[in-house]
Amino acid sequence: MSREFVHLHVHTEHSTRDGLSPPDRICQAAAADGARAVAVTDHGTLAGAWRFDTAARAAGAKPIIGEEAYWAIGSRHDHDSIQVPAESDTDADPGDPGTGVRTKTYEHLTLLAKSPQGWSNLSRMATASADSFWSKPRMDFDLLEQHRAGLIVLTGCIGGPVAGRLLRGDTAGARDHLTRLRDIVGAEHIFVELMDHGIPAENRVRSDLLDLARYAGVRPVATNDCHYTSADDAAVHDLWLCVGQPGTMLTDRDRWRFTGTGYHLRTADEMYRLFAGCEQACDNTLLIADMVDDRVLPEPRQRLPEFDVPAGYPDAAGYLRHLVADGAARRFGEPLPG
C-alpha cells in the first residue's frame, strides 16, 4: 500500500557546502511522490526560503520553511568547544588523526516556522546568529527563549545536541538538552528526530532516542538528511563535496565525504520500510505538516517608500518618470542619444 511521507530535513543548493539540488527539482519530486508538503532546512541560512516557497506552491505542495541551525556549545557569545571521538561525528573539525579525537565547535538543530510569527522569529534568530559568528553563525538557548513563538523544533541528526550526546554515552546531557528545549517551546512543538542512512551510529541510538522521547513526553519523527534529489545524484554529490575542498582528489582517502547511503529525497514507501516497527515516526511528519500554516512568508507586494508628489504630476510614478528624464537630459544632453 502506498503511504504518504513529508520530508522535514532537506538541503538545497543554498546549503553552500554540501547541498546540490535547486528548490524546484526537490519540490517537484516531493509532489510527484504524493507529499502534501515539503520543508527546506538549509545549513545556517534562510536565503533559499522565497525560492523554495515559490517552487513548492508551483508544484502543488505546502512549503515548510526552516533552517538547520548551527547550535553553539554553550553560549553563542563564547568560543566553547568539545572533544568527540573521531568516528562518532564526521561534522567535527578533522583534528589529529593520531589521537582519534575531533574538535566540535557547534551542533545541529532543526527549526521550522509554523506560522507568520514563527517566520518572523526565525528570521530574527538567523540575523542575530550572524552577530555571534564563530566558524558558523550560531544560535543558542537564550536566543530560542526570546523568539520561541511559532516555532517547531526537531532535535537534529547524530551531530545534534541530543543524539550526539547519546552516542557519546552522555545520557544525562542528552536528557537535559531535550527537556530544556521542551520547556522552551512546549512539548507539542518538539520532536525527537530519527534517521537511518545505514550508519551504525544512527542505529545504535535509535532505541535510546525513543526511550528519551517517552521520558520527556514528546513525540519522535522520522527524517531523512536530504542533500540531493535522486539516488542517481550520489556520485555527482560526492564530486561536489570534493570541489568544495581545494587541493583534494576524489581518490583521497582522508577527504571529507558522506558516510552511509540514502541522502536523496527518498519516497514515502522507502521511508516506511526503513522505519518498519516505528511507523508512528513517519506518520508524525504528516502531523507536523498539518500544524504549519498554509502561508508563513508575507504576501508578495511592493515595498517602496512613499514620497510627497509636487503639484502638476498625476502620481508618484509620473513624478519618477520626470526625474529620470530630467536626470538623463542633464547627463547625456538633448536629444538623448539612441
**What value does the mean pLDDT take over residues 30-41?**
98
Of the pLDDT bands very low, low, confident and very high (cuts 50, 70, 90), residue 101 is confident
One-character DSSP codes across 171-202: HHHHHHHHHHHHHHH-GGGEEEEE--SS-HHH
**Are 329 and 322 within 8 A, CB to CB?**
no
Render pLDDT for 53-96 as a digit per residue (tens, 0 to 9). 999 999 999 999 999 999 999 999 999 999 887 766 555 454 44
Render pLDDT for 148-163 as a digit per residue (tens, 0 to 9). 999 999 999 999 999 9
- pLDDT for position 99: 63
Looking at the structure, give the CATH architecture of the domain made up of residues 23-291. Answer: Alpha-Beta Barrel (3.20)
* Cα distances (angstroms) measured from residue 139 to each of 12, 109, 268: 21, 9, 32
Beta bridge partners of 107: 71
3-state secondary structure of 332: helix
For 211, phi and psi rounded to 5 degrees? -60, -40
Taking the domains of the chain in order of start, what are their residue ranges?
A: 23-291, 304-338
> Looking at the predicted structure, is the pLDDT value of residue 9 above 80?
yes
Over the chain, what is the mean pLDDT?
93
Render pLDDT for 227-247 as a digit per residue (tens, 0 to 9). 999 999 999 999 999 988 888
- pLDDT for position 94: 47
Model-level pTM?
0.88
For 127, phi and psi rounded to 5 degrees? -65, -45
Residues 6+ apart with CB under 8 A from 214: none
Render pLDDT for 166-225 as a digit per residue (tens, 0 to 9). 999 999 999 999 999 999 999 999 999 999 999 999 999 999 999 999 999 999 999 999
**Are 163 and 157 within 8 A, CB to CB?**
yes
> Looking at the predicted structure, is the pLDDT value of residue 104 above 70?
yes
